Amino acid sequence: MTNDVAANLIARAVIGGTASVIGGGKFANGAYTASFGYLFNQLQHPAAPRAIYGETAGLYPQLSPGARNVYDVVNWDPASAAELQEARAWVAEVQARNANVHYSQPQGNNPIEQRQWQLAVDAANMAGNLSPPDVRHFFIRQDAVGRQAPGWAGGQAPFRSFGPFINAGGGDVPRGRQTYIDFYQGIR
């Protein structure tokens, strides 16, 4: 990623956050939405979101009232967009501290994708809302009923749930408008 793109990303985040505060909202919500809108516009290759977000690439924020196109950043609900980016930052933190969680962040030799991934995570972390150290697992589910992730041994307790988000990508979780990301902490 060029220095121009990185500088523009930071500028968009500051402008978006400032506009959000002027409108009575939170700086972080506007910063998240503006910076990720800019990143999505910079990533022209169809596989780019998959490379950056791994298994959460198919998730999108809820839409603003009356909006229909989930792929257009201007249609996203700002609070939902901020929540999704915070959840993605938590996913990155969990992956970094738990060797058993294999998150699909860019591997291999593509420095552009790796830099885009790091900028995306850094932008999501701007508010400093990282998961506590004892949060070590996450689970993506389709319905609104909280439950323990299947197949896990004891010693885990639900900690926080993010969502709902729109799952336009399918994958292990069916497509739909009620997709959640749950985080679990160790209790031993």
Domain boundaries defined on the chain:
3-186
pLDDT in tens, 116-125: 656 655 655 5
In the chain, the amino acid numbered 125 is N
Task: Quote the pLDDT of residue 185.
Answer: 80
Find where tokens 């985080």 sit.
183
pTM above 0.95, yes or no: no
Q: Over the stretch 56-105, which tens digit does the pLDDT of each residue have?
A: 878 899 999 999 999 888 899 999 988 998 888 888 778 777 766 654 44
CB atoms within 10 A of CB 110: 12
**What pLDDT is stored for residue 63 in this prediction?**
94
| Tokens (6 digits) for 110 | 């593509």
Q: Span 130-157, mean pLDDT? A: 67
Among 188, 179, 187, which Cα is nearest to 87's?
A: 179
Cβ neighbors of 167 (< 8 A, separation 6 or more) are 58, 59, 60, 142, 173, 174, 175, 176, 177, 179
pLDDT digits (tens, 9 = 90+) for 101-113: 654 444 456 666 6
